[in-house]
Amino acid sequence: MKKKILVYSLLLALFAEAAVIAYSVLFPAPQKRVVEQAIPQEKAPLPQEVKKEEPKKAETVIASGVVTQGADSVAVEITTDDPSSPVIQKFKISQHDGLLSLPLEKPNSFNVEFPESLAKKKDISPPVFHGLSEAAAAGPSTVTLKWEAAKDNTTPSEKISYLIYEAPEAGKEDTSHPVRSITGHTSFRVNGLKDGAVYYFVARAKDEQGNIDNNTKEVKVATPLYPPSGISIATVTDKEAMISWKASPRAKGFKVERREANAKEYREVSSVATTSYKDTGPFKSTNYYYRIIAYNDFSTSAYSEEVFASLVFPIVVVNKNRFGCSYPSIAVDPKTGFPRISYYDGAKGTLNLASFNGVSWSIEVVDEQGDIGWDTALAIDKKTGYPRIGYYDGMHKAFKYAAFDGSKWSIQKAVEVVNGGWGTFLILDPWSGNPQLSYSDFGSREVKLASFDGNAWSVKAVDKGRNDGWSNALALDQKNRRIYIGYYGDDKTLKLASFDGNGWHISFVDGNIDAELGASLAVNPQSGYPYISYYSSDHILRLAYYTGSAWRIKEIDKGSGKNKGWDNVLAFNPATGYPVISYYASDDKLKLASFNGSSWDIKTVADYSGGYLSMDINPADGRIFLSYYDRSTWELKCYAPARKVW
């Protein structure tokens, strides 16, 4: 038994000694860098007696060398409690602030605080951007730029900015000064450019850290010229057309194109360097349209507005019969710019309407039930573009109203006058389109107004007297919705009746008037005040206008000879804002008096031996149209200059 115990003890001692030797091999004692003298080797402690060292706090952290912007690592020198044993190691820089635990190789981990300059990793990589992909002119002063969105490793696409550089020559963009900037979009509209000019553009992407890509992709674009404007055409009867226009100063030349009125295609007739052209043909027709396009070395313009020219105007014959084409009333179709004329056909006793289509006149019968069409008054409904006619039925002694709906005419009897009447005038309410007719009732000796409300006609007496309303004119003030009627009254007086929605107010305008030779009424669209042109008994054409507090009277034409102002018609020209008066003079001349802002210009339009003068002005371009009956030739005629404002 004792032998067994001794053997076991010996084996245990050998096992313990082997364990110590193995521990010393696996865990060698650290050697000091400086050794002053040899120290006897001590016996290694048992493994269970080894104590783990506590982490030591670094006293200083010093950057070794220069840390470049955007570097992903830095070398630091860590001084421990043992100044003679510094540790230099290289560490990855991550996004962090404050203290960071670093896994040192030796002796253990340390809590190290980086300087603020090294606390965060910096992004120096610019966005990936391929530059502009498209540039297109969106107008004479506008260009649209497009590109694909840039990509960046830190900045989201909606926060990437795009810097736009602009230059008039290739490669001359100043990339240190962008002219425009936009964020988060892939297109941009550049405004404020010159027309007819070439531009070069470069775009670069910028991230939130201020990194800008350096692409040099350049796009070129030319802006179009502004189209020619203010076109004026004057024609003469020997088949010439003089065309003039306004254009951009950067235009180098102009192409003039024309087409026949009944054709669809334009053909170029000339290319000129000036802003006017005289077209002498050859012509195959009498009515043409013109348009003009401008160009320079870089671009062209859009086409100008289309303008009409008639080589047989200004005077044309619309219809003819020996019994008369009388009582004409002219109105310009605002959609086509062409005139329409309602009139009485004396040969058939019918109400007719003549319409110009750009080439010729077409004539249709509107009403033939009786002796129809005296004293016609024509208007164009601005909402529908269809004609409306007020007129007198001499056989049935009634005032009627005809309205076209696009396919047929509807006829209404507005009012019957037992003892007859005269002086039809028509206006259309601009808000409802409903008609209103003014007239003179011979039986009651009253000037009256018949109004349609959409269901029925109602009649109101305006004024009463022996000759009241013999020559009347109707107008509407659209600003204040006042209705005005100018008319001749008793004792050769000129009067104005105004309706304010509650009642009629009568004012005296002038005395000593020739009641049989015409008066006309128009409202100044600027002031809303009424103007009346009339022929006075001293043979002078006069104009009376209201100032808001009193009437003022001007003499318009009192030249040599007598009878200035018969059969006068007044209107305001929308192209100038000033009044125009057409009238007959005793020297058998048809004349136009036009106010120019300071004085009246008077021109002779044509020889005139007629009556029933009517006038309208195209609201689109200010062209003046006249219709009248020439008694010497039994012809219904139309005057229309081919230029905008004569």
At 226 the pLDDT is: 96
> Comparing 84-88, 156-160, 363-367, 472-476, which segment has the lowest mean pLDDT?
84-88
Instruction: For residue 292, give the CATH number of its domain.
Output: 2.60.40.10
- Higher pLDDT residue, 286 or 275? 275
C-alpha–C-alpha distance, residues 329 and 343, integer Å: 7
Residue 356 inside a domain? The answer is no
Residue 111 inside a domain? The answer is yes
At 562 the pLDDT is: 61
C-alpha–C-alpha distance, residues 68 and 321, integer Å: 104
Q: Would you tell me how many other CB atoms lie within 10 Å of the CB of residue 350?
A: 19
Greatest distance between any 2 Cα atoms in the chain: 174
Pairing of strands 110-113, 99-102: antiparallel
3-state secondary structure of 230: strand
pTM over 0.85: no
Pairing of strands 161-167, 198-206: antiparallel
Give the model's confidence band at 351: pLDDT under 50 very low, under 70 low, under 90 confident, else very high: very high
Q: What is the DSSP string of 48-102?
A: GG--PPPPPPPSEEEE-S---TT-SEEEEEEE-S-TTS-EEEEEE--S--SEEEE
At 192 the pLDDT is: 93
**Can you give the residue range of the structural domain that contains 576?**
465-608
Residues 469, 604, single domain; the answer is yes
- For residue 39, pLDDT over 50 is answered with no
Residue 484 inside a domain? The answer is yes
Q: Which of 410, 385, 391 is nearest to 332 (CA)?
A: 385
Q: Which of 390, 481, 394, 398 is nearest to 432 (CA)?
A: 481
At 66 the pLDDT is: 39
- Higher pLDDT residue, 567 or 169? 169
Give the model's confidence band at 470: pLDDT under 50 very low, under 70 low, under 90 confident, else very high: low
C-alpha–C-alpha distance, residues 437 and 425, integer Å: 5
The residue from 283, 310, 337 where one domain ends is 310
Q: Nearest 5°: CA angle at 641, between 590 and 301?
A: 160
Bridge partners of residue 378, in order along the sequence:
389
Residues 493, 576, single domain; the answer is yes
DSSP state of 513: B
At 646 the pLDDT is: 33
Residues 251, 215, single domain; the answer is no
Q: 121 near 154, Cβ under 8 Å? A: no
3-state secondary structure of 23: helix
| Backbone CA torsion sign across 147, 151, 154, 156 | positive
- Higher pLDDT residue, 265 or 513? 265
Q: Would you tell me how many other CB atoms lie within 10 Å of the CB of residue 447?
A: 29
At 116 the pLDDT is: 45
Q: For 351-383, give the secondary structure using H, E and C.
A: EEEEEECCCCEEEEEEECCCCEEEEEEEEECCC
Q: CA 166, 167, 170, 172: dihedral to nearest 10 degrees?
A: -100
In the structure encoding, which two tokens stand for residue 443, read together? 């039986």
- For residue 453, pLDDT over 90 is answered with yes
Residue 163 inside a domain? The answer is yes
In the structure encoding, which two tokens stand for residue 207, read together? 């991230």
Bridge partners of residue 448, in order along the sequence:
439, 461
Question: Can you tell me the mean pLDDT for 4-23?
Answer: 46
C-alpha–C-alpha distance, residues 545 and 509, integer Å: 9
Output Rg (C-alpha) for the chain, integer angstroms.
Answer: 49
In the structure encoding, which two tokens stand for residue 95, read together? 């996004």
Cis peptide bond upstream of 435, omega within 30 = no
At 19 the pLDDT is: 47
Question: Can you tell me the mean pLDDT for 212-235?
Answer: 91
What percentage of the chain has pLDDT greater than the value 90?
46
3-state secondary structure of 12: helix
At 623 the pLDDT is: 83
At 17 the pLDDT is: 53
Q: Which of 589, 580, 587 is nearest to 607 (CA)?
A: 589
Residue 449: exposed, middle, or buried by beta-carbon count in 10 A (0-12, 13-18, 19+)? Answer: buried
Q: Which of 577, 425, 536 is nearest to 486 (CA)?
A: 425
Question: Can you tell me the mean pLDDT for 459-464?
Answer: 91
- For residue 355, pLDDT over 80 is answered with yes
What percentage of the chain has pLDDT greater than the value 70?
75
Residues 147, 216, single domain; the answer is yes
Phi, then psi, of 555 in degrees rounded to 5: -90, 125
Residue 586 inside a domain? The answer is yes
The residue from 310, 334, 368 where one domain ends is 310
Bridge partners of residue 629, in order along the sequence:
611, 636
Residues 244, 198, single domain; the answer is no
Residues 573, 591, single domain; the answer is yes
The residue from 206, 222, 238 where one domain ends is 222
Give the model's confidence band at 626: pLDDT under 50 very low, under 70 low, under 90 confident, else very high: very high
Q: Which of 81, 111, 82 is nearest to 98 (CA)?
A: 111
| Backbone CA torsion sign across 281, 287, 293, 294 | positive
pLDDT in tens, 312-344: 556 788 998 888 889 999 999 888 888 999 999
Question: Can you tell me the mean pLDDT for 1-28?
Answer: 46
At 14 the pLDDT is: 46
Question: Can you tell me the mean pLDDT for 609-625?
Answer: 85
The secondary structure element, H or E, covering residue 10 is helix 2-26
Question: Can you tell me the mean pLDDT for 602-615?
Answer: 81
At 26 the pLDDT is: 43
3-state secondary structure of 157: helix
Residues 114, 144, single domain; the answer is no
Question: Can you tell me the mean pLDDT for 435-455?
Answer: 91
Residue 600 inside a domain? The answer is yes
Give the model's confidence band at 513: pLDDT under 50 very low, under 70 low, under 90 confident, else very high: confident
Residues 590, 562, single domain; the answer is yes
**Residues 6+ positions from 292 with CB-CB distance below 8 Å:** 227, 228, 231, 243, 245, 254, 255, 256, 257, 303, 304
C-alpha–C-alpha distance, residues 290 and 158, integer Å: 51
- For residue 245, pLDDT over 80 is answered with yes
At 55 the pLDDT is: 44
- For residue 13, pLDDT over 70 is answered with no
- For residue 564, pLDDT over 90 is answered with no
- For residue 603, pLDDT over 80 is answered with yes
C-alpha–C-alpha distance, residues 568 and 543, integer Å: 11
In the structure encoding, which two tokens stand for residue 351, read together? 């109400």
Indicate the average pLDDT of the chain: 80
3-state secondary structure of 169: coil
Bridge partners of residue 100, in order along the sequence:
112
Residue 136 inside a domain? The answer is yes
Residues 189, 268, single domain; the answer is no
Q: 73 near 92, Cβ under 8 Å? A: yes
Instruction: For residue 551, give the CATH number of its domain.
Output: 2.120.10.70
Phi, then psi, of 265 in degrees rounded to 5: -95, 140
pLDDT in tens, 143-191: 999 999 999 988 999 999 999 999 999 999 999 999 999 999 999 999 9
At 160 the pLDDT is: 95
Residues 72, 167, single domain; the answer is no
Q: 497 near 487, Cβ under 8 Å? A: yes
Q: What is the DSSP string of 585-599?
A: ETTTEEEEEEE-SSS
- How many structural domains does the chain have? 4
At 424 the pLDDT is: 85
Residue 404 inside a domain? The answer is no
Residues 595, 478, single domain; the answer is yes
At 114 the pLDDT is: 47
In the structure encoding, which two tokens stand for residue 46, read together? 């048992």
Q: For 272-314, give the secondary structure using H, E and C.
A: ECCCEEEECCCCCCCEEEEEEEEECCCCEECCCCCEEEECCCC
Give the model's confidence band at 620: pLDDT under 50 very low, under 70 low, under 90 confident, else very high: confident
pLDDT in tens, 381-434: 988 899 999 999 988 899 999 999 999 999 999 999 988 888 888 999 988 889
Residues 145, 278, single domain; the answer is no
- For residue 517, pLDDT over 70 is answered with no
C-alpha–C-alpha distance, residues 545 and 125, integer Å: 78
- For residue 11, pLDDT over 50 is answered with no
At 488 the pLDDT is: 82
Q: Which of 101, 29, 7 is nearest to 58 (CA)?
A: 101
Q: 436 near 399, Cβ under 8 Å? A: no
Q: Would you tell me how many other CB atoms lie within 10 Å of the CB of residue 326?
A: 21
Question: Can you tell me the mean pLDDT for 41-62?
Answer: 45
